A and B are shown apart, each in its own frame.
Chain A
Amino acid sequence: MDQEPEAPETDLQVPAPSAAPTPSAATAGKPAPRKQAPAKSAAAKPAAAKPPAAKSAAAKSAAKTTAAKTTAPKSTARLTTTADTPKRATKPRAPKPRAPKRETVLSIRGLSKRFGDTVAVDEIDLAVTAGSIFGIVGPNGAGKTTTLSMVTGLVRPDSGSIVVHGVGVWANPAAAKRIMGVLPDRLRLFDRLTGAQLLYYSGVLRGLDASTVRERSADLTTAFGLEDAADRLVADYSAGMTKKVALAAAMIHSPRLLVLDEPFESVDPVSAANIIEILQNYTKAGGTVVLSSHSMDLIQRICDSVAIIVAGRLLASGTMRKVRAGASLEDRFVELAGGRKAAEGMEWLHSFSD
């Protein structure tokens, strides 16, 4: 099952002609072989020519502050097409994007899962680069949760490989699980614990020592606005608060990769903005986020790359700009998902019965 994190070749992706990197090449210290892919295209040269040394903290933060709220001219160099690189170059404040070639933190190849007769996930390939926010969108029942559950080790795949930071999730689960922080959707929490206890429990289960957990719990409680609720049972929390405490618990061991299934569902707008900021700061520091959501606007706003999954199949993936192809993500999504249902024959709705 353990395969090298090679770029998947889905239809929308630019084939990466570089020699297949070995798993060891995928570690953070060796970005060299990856550099070659965009370097092939002339337009990408300014970015690609940038030596890895330019990845200094100063350059990073400068690029980041400008890029943070715009649509993703950062980090996903391996997935970029020739089409969007010139545009990036024209951006006034982003002439120095971060290192052009970044490690693939999550690589999924040929992932499939059946439940009885229904195919939940059908031969999905994905590659997520370090330091990016990767969004997965799809209609209800498309297989988003199943895909993410297979990544996090909660659902056993029928076939395919998942490699996280060079570690096969199903070949070496113990090591792979240490790398990930997980927020599943619609699973219970140990809700007879208080919020503080749940955070402590999650931290200690992840192998942190008591003082570190206490410190981080305090930070997380403040960051997520849970101060008043920390001593109450999670069972008494509202849906949004439960989501927030689960999200905090997912982060407590400072994982390299966060896998978040519907992190913004039933979270109020203020908290959502707060969480987005936390996630963006996290990716700036090199962390990676994979999240699923129903909210197209939100995905379009915060994600660098996106995958559209419909009926278990990957219809598009790549940088946000490329997948959108000039339209809004929502329009593109509706188009790929089979178009809008014609809302005809509902004229009676316009004559009111009372």
Chain B
Amino acid sequence: MVAQFLGLKLRLLANLFRRSPWQVVGIVLGLIYGLGIALWLVVGLAALRFAPVDFARAAVVVAGSVSVLGFLVLPLLFGVDDVLDPRRFSLFGIPNRRLAGALAVSALVGVPSLVICVVAAAQIVTWSRSFVAVSFAVASALLIVATCLLGARVTTSVAAFLLATRRLRETTGLIALIALVSISPVVVLLTGVDWQRNGLAIIESLANVLGWTPLGAAWAAPADAAAGEFGGALLKLLVACAFLGLLWLVWQALVDWMLTTGQRESEVRDYAGLGWFSRMPATPAGAIAARSITYWMRDARYRVALVIVPIVPTVMILILLVGGVPGRFLVLLPVPIMCFFLAWSTVHNDVAYDNSAIWLHVVAGTPGWADRVGRLVPALALGILVIGVGTPVCAILAGDWSMLPSLIGVSGCVLLCGLGLSSIMSVRFPYPTVRPGDSPFSQPQSSATAATWMQSLTVLAVIALVAPSAILAFLGLEFGALWHFASLGAGIVIGLVVLVIGIAWGGRIFESRGPELLAFALRN
């Protein structure tokens, strides 16, 4: 039974290589990356063999705890595709205990499992300082591997089972994003520490705490043994064993439960009325605009792109501030950057976001310009809002009202040029993106193509088109107000021309390439 499951997992792994060449390249890169990390960790752990016990222990326990945490939490956040979902075996009539065991053992096959096995073996080298320490290290290695794999097994199933509804899948992605963002204060806090003086002490005290938690206990036991604290080592080994036992019980219960419970139904919400559709004109362009606005608000993929808009300039400015760039210049940056991300983020690949639902536009013979204009409306509206509110605020912060026209000019030019070029790019060079209903952080099903490169080249085109307005703005900073108005004029005129050309040209491409767009969506 166990052998069959291991064989199945191996076969599934091998079949990964029978996909398209690009995917195989991706998998091979992943493998090399994983093995590279493993090798690097092995060298590090071997080197720690010659470090003092306290230092080695602090490093191993903290790093080890983080890796165990990763095995436990990553599947929850990113929803790994579970090829060995217990429910897939529900009709084979295998006793639940045996199924749970076989599935747990088959988790040994896989790249992350390989890495953790190698690392767990390497930490034996770190503690090869006495016989007792080595025996503790061997026991720990087994516990570490078992804990990581079983933990990942449990959380993967929890993700697949409990978080399976569409709405939850989308929200976990958002939670992950917010979690990532909220880590940044911690990072700032950590960068504030004087590592030269206190660093080791902090890590050591952290290791002391983690060593008693299930995350670090197995890593800490051989360290204690090496330091001669056998009682502590035994206790920690017990903690690790207890956690593993608990995981096993949870896993068994989970398998039992999964095999006898139906798919969770998501709660269904009612949305009264037509929403944005009744607020927009009843024309194709108006309806598409209403649909776009609705999607920007309802679809997690758009929401994530929207959340990123204010984050990017914030992070950029923080970095530049730390780098010593004077604040007077930095104040000029956020509005144009936000405009760029608004105009670029989803709009430049908007057709791909529709996936095969684009058939409706093709079949209805939607005028190309109406399709283009409708999709721009949310970005344009938000962009105008950002410029309207953001530029005066920035001008106040800079303490110089005279630069307001050029700030508006450059931002408007970025927004309009970005939208204009996006209108062409999204129909001419769509590239695969996350499919509707998938977690916004999941990988697109097929990989990069030439279209991706084309898209990045277009970013350069935006910069080139904004250059005149930006240069005039800099002249304004040097020589005074008139140049600022020239910048405003140049920015708006260039932007409007690019926007109109983009809509007209993109519209024509849309009308002639309908079947190709649908074929692309079906490949995606």
Contacts and interface: CB of A to CB of B under 8 A. Distances in A.
Interface of A: 152-156, 173-174, 177-178, 180, 182, 184, 187-194, 196-197, 200-202, 204-210, 213, 231-233, 235-236, 249
23 contacts: A154-B515, A155-B515, A155-B519, A156-B516, A177-B363, A177-B364, A177-B365, A182-B363, A187-B359, A190-B291, A196-B273, A196-B274, A197-B277, A200-B287, A201-B277, A201-B291, A202-B364, A204-B282, A213-B282, A231-B272, A233-B269, A235-B437, A249-B360
Contacts of A155: 515, 518-519
A285 to B, nearest CB: 22
B299 A192 contact: yes
Contacts of B464: none
A232 B356 contact: no
Contact of B287 (A153, A184, A204): A204
Contacts of B514: 153-154, 173
Contacts of B366: 205
B166 interface: yes
A57 B518 CA distance: 42
A86 B125 CA distance: 95
Nearest to A152: B363
A189 B274 contact: no
Contacts of A187: 356-357, 359, 518, 522
B478 interface: no
A249 B363 CA distance: 12
Given A194-B271, A232-B270, A236-B266, A178 B365 contact: yes
A205 B436 contact: no
A190 B366 CA distance: 15
Contacts of B290: 201
A347 B353 CA distance: 52
Contacts of A197: 271, 274-275, 277, 291, 294
A207 B266 contact: no
A208 B287 CA distance: 11
A192 B294 contact: yes
B501 interface: no
B10 to A, nearest CB: 28
A192 B366 CA distance: 20
Contact of B355 (A178, A188, A209, A249): A188
Interface string B453-489: 0000000000000000000000000000000000000
A232 B268 contact: yes
Most buried by B among A154, A177, A178, A202: A154
Nearest to B514: A153
Contacts of A209: 282
Nearest to A253: B364
Interface residues of B, number: 45
A174 B269 CA distance: 37
A354 B400 CA distance: 88
Interface string B265-303: 010111111110110001110111011001100110000
A81 B287 CA distance: 49
Nearest to B371: A205
A180 B363 contact: yes
B361 interface: yes
A63 B271 CA distance: 45
B499 to A, nearest CB: 23
A155 B295 CA distance: 27
Contacts of B288: 205
A200 B273 CA distance: 11
Contacts of B166: 235-236
B164 interface: no
Interface string B249-278: 000000000000000001011111111011
Given A177-B364, A182-B363, A205 B284 contact: yes
A173 B365 contact: yes
B269 A210 contact: no
Given A180-B363, A207-B284, 6 more contacts: A173-B365, A177-B363, A188-B356, A197-B275, A204-B282, A233-B268
Nearest to B364: A205
A232 B269 contact: yes
B373 to A, nearest CB: 13
Contact of A201 (B272, B287, B299, B515): B287
A204 B363 contact: no
Contact of A190 (B360, B437, B519, B522): B360
B354 interface: yes
Nearest to A207: B284
A184 B356 CA distance: 11
Nearest to A174: B365
B188 to A, nearest CB: 37
B440 to A, nearest CB: 13
B156 to A, nearest CB: 24
B266 A202 contact: no
A205 B274 contact: no
A231 B271 contact: yes
A237 to B, nearest CB: 9
B298 to A, nearest CB: 5
A191 B356 CA distance: 11
Contact of A205 (B266, B298, B361, B519): B361
Contacts of B282: 204, 208-210, 213
Q: Which 10 A-B pairs have the closest CB atoms?
A: A177-B365, A210-B282, A204-B287, A205-B364, A188-B357, A187-B356, A156-B515, A182-B363, A231-B270, A192-B298
B294 to A, nearest CB: 6
B356 A192 contact: no
Nearest to B281: A210
A205 B294 contact: no
Best-buried of B266, B299, B515, B519 by chain A (most CB within 10 Å): B515
B362 interface: yes
Contacts of A207: 284
A73 B130 CA distance: 96
A173 B511 CA distance: 9
Nearest to B522: A187
Contacts of B359: 154, 182, 184, 187
A327 B295 CA distance: 52
A180 B361 CA distance: 13
A11 to B, nearest CB: 31
Nearest to B276: A197
B193 to A, nearest CB: 45
Contacts of B284: 204-205, 207
A249 to B, nearest CB: 8
A235 B436 CA distance: 10
Interface string B437-450: 10000000000000
A336 to B, nearest CB: 29
Contacts of B518: 154-155, 187
